[in-house]
Amino acid sequence: MPVLKTRGDDATWHETSATSDADALHDNVSGEIAAIAEKVSPVNADVVVIEDSADSDNKKRVQLGNLPDAHPVADTTDLVKGSADATKLLRIEVDGLTTATTRTITMADQNVDLTPDSGTYPAFATAVALAVAL
């Protein structure tokens, strides 16, 4: 029976005939994964263990680089939530764009307040009035 044995940063599959192995990951022991050292900067070649739902939950390994990319997301997806109030959400609507067009938002190197007439940048009408006055 193959078991996943861990020692510090090392996690490897081993064959064993024992029904219990103190070095294996167990489905009935909490905190075993949390006790393994964390890799804080994973790369595409790193491997994780999964249970394959399409193969009777047999264990498989997957390289991080082979996981599906979740981008782009539909413009109905909430992208950011408030840190103090998680009910405050932000999404970006793009359905008003011309078909087959990509628009780019370039962030200024400063904090930006998009509130009309009182934010960092004046409202369009105010900006036009200022330009005409010049």
pLDDT at 53: 92
What residues have CB less than 8 Å from 116, skipping those under 6 apart?
Answer: 123
Q: How many distinct structural domains can be found in the chain?
A: 1
Domain that holds residue 18: 2-66
Structural domain contains residue 82: no
Which residue numbers in the chain have pLDDT < 70? Answer: 1-20, 121-134
Answer yes or no: pTM beyond 0.85. Answer: no
pLDDT at 44: 93
Structural domain contains residue 22: yes
Question: Which residues are registered as beta bridge partners of 51?
Answer: 59
Structural domain contains residue 73: no
pLDDT at 71: 83
How far, in Å, are 87, 90, 120 from residue 82 at the CA level? 7, 9, 20
pLDDT at 20: 64
Residue located via tokens 């996690």: 11
Structural domain contains residue 76: no
Tens-place pLDDT, residues 94-122? 998 999 999 998 888 888 887 777 777 66
Structural domain contains residue 91: no
Structural domain contains residue 96: no
Locate 83 and state its tokens: 């840190």
